[in-house]
Amino acid sequence: MAQWIYRIVPTRPEMVAAATDEEAAVIEEHFGYLQALKGAGILILAGRTQVDEGTFGITIFEAPDEITARAIMETDPAVSAGVMSATLYPYAVAVARDGLAD
């Protein structure tokens, strides 16, 4: 199956250090969404940089085609709520620790 990556960036940079209650709730939904993708065997890995300024997150996952991949990205609560902007790219894990990309 094809691999994809989407990069997310906060639409309000101050959110990382000082999220509103609404933003914090959306981020919790975002984490739950990623957990659901993991449970469905779609997610390969997800995470974010550990700096406040210029931070971004990535989600690497499998989908059969770009239409499905884009739907997965756009369904992410952080993206659909406008808390994060996202960009989708085709991707391929080239080298990974044993078991990571299986």
What gap in Å lies between CA 3 and CA 68, rounded to an integer?
11
Q: Is 90 exposed, middle or buried (0-12, 13-18, 19+ CB in 10 A)?
A: exposed
pTM: 0.92
- Inform me whether the pLDDT recorded for 99 exceeds 80: no
**Cα 18 from chain centre:** 20
Q: Is the pLDDT of residue 28 over 80?
A: yes
Please report, to the nearest 10 degrees, the dihedral formed by the alpha carbons of residues 31, 33, 35, 38 taken in order.
-140
Give the tokens for residue 88.
């989708």
* Confidence band, pLDDT 50/70/90 cuts, at residue 5: very high
pLDDT in tens, 30-77: 999 999 999 999 999 999 998 878 899 999 999 999 999 999 999 999
> Domains of the chain by range and CATH?
3-53+66-91 (3.30.70.1060)
Residue 25 pLDDT level (bands cut at 50, 70, 90): very high
Residue with tokens 């078991």: 99
Angle at 28 between CA 18 and CA 77, to 5 degrees: 100
pLDDT higher than 70, residue 101:
no
